[in-house]
Amino acid sequence: MKIAVVGATGLVGGVMLRVLEERGFANDEIIAAASLKSVGKRIPFADRELTVVSVDDAIAMHPDFAIFSAGASASRQYAPLFAAAGTTVIDNSSAWRKDADKPLVVPEINIDAVGDDDRIIANPNCSTIQMVLALSGLHRRYGIKRIVVSTYQSITGTGIKAVRQLQEEEKAFATLYAEKGDVVPSPARPLPAPGQLNTENKAYPYQIFRNLFPHGGDFQADGYTTEEQKLVDETRKIFASPDIAVSATVARVPVVGGHSESVNVEFKKEFDLDEARDIIAKTPGVVLYDNPEQLLYPMPVISEGRDEVFVGRVRRDNSQPRTLNLWVVADNLRKGAATNAIEIMERLIK
């Protein structure tokens, strides 16, 4: 195989290369492509180094597959050019997810949405992937009527700039702690006003260390954010169920290992709790990690570096009928991005 990774020098691109190596592609021809400022850089892969080439050069090399993690604008510009050259593109950005002519795929759920002539395939948003995979077996059995989801999303979903911001803020606090020699309480602060936010070379308008904020993506006119809207639109498209009601709230938390989600799901049919747990446990790609007596429940520290979606805190919602509560955790850089894209490619190769 000849496989291009577009955006290879980025956070997700690096994970894509790692997953390719882990999943048996170490001996294939791997093309590392990135922006012009990165051309010529050498990056490790398996037992060798790859020299970064431009995206135009990667197109001219006619790879079988091009896996994109370079942002929506780059995908809109270059994915059609790869497709025209006969390459199958699997795109990790938001560029094609809402396009009715482009399949949006979680391979365990809807790989059959990809037709023989499809040359651009969209990879869903990271928070969507883990939620729909956890719910997929339950949806087939009971039919989902409504989902209320609150996400607790890792800073790695924003990128390396966010990771550096957290590290710098942690370091500043540690320095202050060392100087004081005791616990350092945070002083009361005035409420921030527009124009007073900390945006200088930062990924976020506020500090993320010892903080969280209910904001991911851009705010829309209706008060929801684009990250929240993705959970609505993508869930309906992947399940091919436009009637599913979805209400989402996204929060960014000072965590590196993965995204967590509190999911409240109402079904069209009544469910048996033991059967529902069994369905979750047997869903491909999902691990039921749930034993309250032993304090077993999913956390980002157990999902980091793994490809499974972990589900716990499975319990009936006692406030209304046919409703279940779940806690869902996954590594957003792997199953939420790189691994899902590569699994799509693997299914297409087969």
Q: Choose the catalytic residue: 62, 139, 215, 259.
A: 259
Q: Which two tokens stand for residue 49?
A: 């180094």
Q: Which two tokens stand for residue 240?
A: 């091919």
Nearest to 254 by CA among 296, 214, 209, 289: 209
User: What DSSP designation does 336 have?
Assistant: I
Q: Choose the catalytic residue: 62, 126, 139, 215.
A: 126
139 is catalytic: no
Provide DSSP, 90-152.
Answer: EE-SSSSTT-TTS-B--HHHHGGG--TT--EEEPPPHHHHHHHHHHHHHHHHH-EEEEEEEEE
Identify the bridge partners of residue 6 per DSSP, sorted by sequence position: 33, 68
Residues 6+ apart with CB under 8 A from 327: 260, 261, 262, 263, 297, 298, 311, 312, 313
| Cα→Cα distances 203→93, 226, 283, 289, 312, Å | 18, 17, 36, 33, 31
62 is catalytic: no
Give the active site residues. Answer: 126, 259
